[in-house]
Amino acid sequence: MPLIAVCAAWAVFWGSWSALLPAIKGELGITAGDLGLALSAVPVGALPAMALAGRLARGRERAALATTMILFALAVAGIGAATTGWQLALALLLVGATSGALDIALNLATGRTERETGRRLFQPVHAAFPVAVIAAAPLTGLARSYGLSVATVLLIIALIVAATTLTLLALPLGRGLTEPAGGDRRRLWGAAVVLGALAACVLIIENSVEQWSVLLLEEHRGATPLLASAAPAIYMAALTAGRLLAQALPRVPLRVLYLVAGVGGGAGIALAGLGGGAAASLAGFGLTGLALGPVVPALLSRAAADDPSGTMVWGVSTISYTGFVISPLLVAGLSGWLGLPAALAALGLLGLPLLVRAAAGRRPA
């Protein structure tokens, strides 16, 4: 399936990226602070690009997805040319912009394909991302152990991304769209804000696991580096399982997914933060991923079904991305006040909006 291949190729970079960071820091001779500043360029580039991409891609989803894939490949290869901290920041600004645009184009293309074929696609397409991340990280470490430079690894990834664009030739999509009237546009954006905010709650927790779980296990659970490194992989594997389970089951009402995510996701991250040992924390991360995994794809699928113009998919994708932007600052702030274990546990409160939505039991659009 072309869309699954595109999502997997996109994820290959992000799965490799964390494994490349130590080498990049060493090759450029920059401090951790300089690296953090450069990394902040990714969301700075992504958000405005997502806002623009949604306007341009609707009605021409296949061409937009192919274009953003090529631009993303070029941006990835460009990282290897950076020789200073500010050059790295500029390269990551372009990576963030092209990745954000790719995110929007992929969701719009998936939504349109769902509408035109009647097939449920968001769950398997989004399941490809964590699978590729899990596979890419150790493979990148293996490539580094064989002496491949950062620039060489990035070039290989860029070629993979560019080559995957060819699969889009097999993606039959119509062209054109019907723009909603003024009143409908306001209603659609209002619904997109609600769905996007719910998705952002999920993504705040997801990003916190990716960034802080290893640190929690090493510094607060006495885990070895090897055991601690399993935490993001367990979460990603559970995330994939949750999405594939939702795909395999008969159509599960969105209200049920809200309920499962609110209870299971909230309890899981609380267990991960407050559990008494490494095993409890790992189990908590697994429960969190399993419960939260199906929610964002299901929200996007609902948005695509409720709005043939693509406005809601565009809005939900862009608004939900703020969860990734907010998450590092939120956890860092809570950690300074409560400590990291309690800070992660406190994120369980983000399950409450999902429970409220489940109790409301209404379609958002």
Residue 251, domain CATH:
1.20.1250.20
pLDDT value of residue 365: 41
In a domain, 239, yes or no: yes
pLDDT value of residue 9: 94
pLDDT value of residue 182: 52
- Long-range CB pairs of 266-270 (<8 Å, 24+ gap) are 266/348, 266/349, 266/350, 266/351, 266/352, 267/348, 267/351, 268/292, 268/348, 269/205, 269/208, 269/209, 269/344, 269/345, 269/347, 269/348, 270/345, 270/348
Tell me: do 302 and 188 sit in the same domain: yes
Listed residues 138, 170, 202: the one ending a domain: 170
In a domain, 177, yes or no: no
Tell me: do 277 and 355 sit in the same domain: yes
Q: What is the number of structural domains in the chain?
A: 2
Tell me: do 142 and 213 sit in the same domain: no
In a domain, 365, yes or no: no
In a domain, 307, yes or no: yes
Listed residues 150, 170, 190: the one ending a domain: 170
Tell me: do 30 and 57 sit in the same domain: yes
Tell me: do 166 and 270 sit in the same domain: no
In a domain, 175, yes or no: no
Tell me: do 248 and 113 sit in the same domain: no
Tell me: do 81 and 149 sit in the same domain: yes
pLDDT along the chain (365 residues), means of 10: 92 86 83 79 92 87 92 95 90 95 93 86 91 86 84 94 90 64 72 93 91 84 82 91 90 90 95 90 95 94 87 91 88 88 94 92 51
Listed residues 122, 144, 170: the one ending a domain: 170
Tell me: do 235 and 131 sit in the same domain: no
In a domain, 165, yes or no: yes
pLDDT value of residue 177: 60
SS (H, E, C) 155-189: HHHHHHHHHHHHHHHHCCCCCCCCCCCHHHHHHHH
Tell me: do 157 and 186 sit in the same domain: no
Tell me: do 61 and 98 sit in the same domain: yes
| Domain span at 204 | 182-360
Tell me: do 210 and 126 sit in the same domain: no
Tell me: do 333 and 213 sit in the same domain: yes
pLDDT value of residue 176: 59
Query: What is the reported pTM?
Result: 0.87
In a domain, 279, yes or no: yes
